[in-house]
A = this chain, B = another copy of it.
């Protein structure tokens, strides 16, 4: 294997040649057509995703009932997620043992905008019964709305008066949306697998891999397989 070649901008060759410049204007035309088809496809894909979120909603409702009967379900699932789990301090886990439900409320027709609602049983840490974070995404912009955590006296895990402390719950003060994406798109749909430890039981995909599988491999953060074996 060679070392990577230096990146070369093909346009430099084109700019010095009037004929090629003319060809390039056709290139841009074709490219615009492809982009507009791509946009249509993304729109239709988003609608498809929204349609299936609607279909899944009642099943998630059923799942919610089942999950509440399993102690520490969400704390276990969260701590088994490779990224989310690595952010949990011991104190965080104590709080998360009171996490009885996660709900993702999706905006109509937009699978990307969502409200994350984490419901807690009464606990020694904060008075909120729900911690909420809202994500509104449209084509050009994204907004995050935080709802403050009402920490009980001396129980603030994110700040000790002088300085910020390491805690998963800092995320409820921050603008970042990444963890919200992980929760909504990985943890939530694959909750049972993560609860089981996110085993790496391999599905036989043959030698060929989908684009997504390749991404996963490169990420080294492969979501667990869905197959359940009990």
Given A2-B86, A89-B2, check contact A41 B48 (CB 8 Å): yes
> Once the chains are docked, how many angstroms separate the CA of A207 from the CA of B207?
37
- B209 near A181 (CB under 8 angstroms)? yes
Give the interface SS of chain A, mostly helix, strand, loop or mixed: helix
Contacts of A60 in B (CB 8 A): 34
Cβ–Cβ < 8 Å partners of A59 in chain B: 30, 33-34, 37
Identify the A interface with B (CB < 8 A): 1-5, 7-11, 13-14, 19-20, 23-24, 26-28, 30-31, 33-35, 37-38, 40-41, 44-45, 48-49, 52, 55-56, 59-60, 62-63, 66-67, 69-73, 76-77, 79-80, 82, 85-90, 93, 112, 135, 137, 140-144, 166, 175-178, 181-182, 185, 189, 192, 195-199, 204-211, 214-215, 218-219, 221, 226, 228, 230
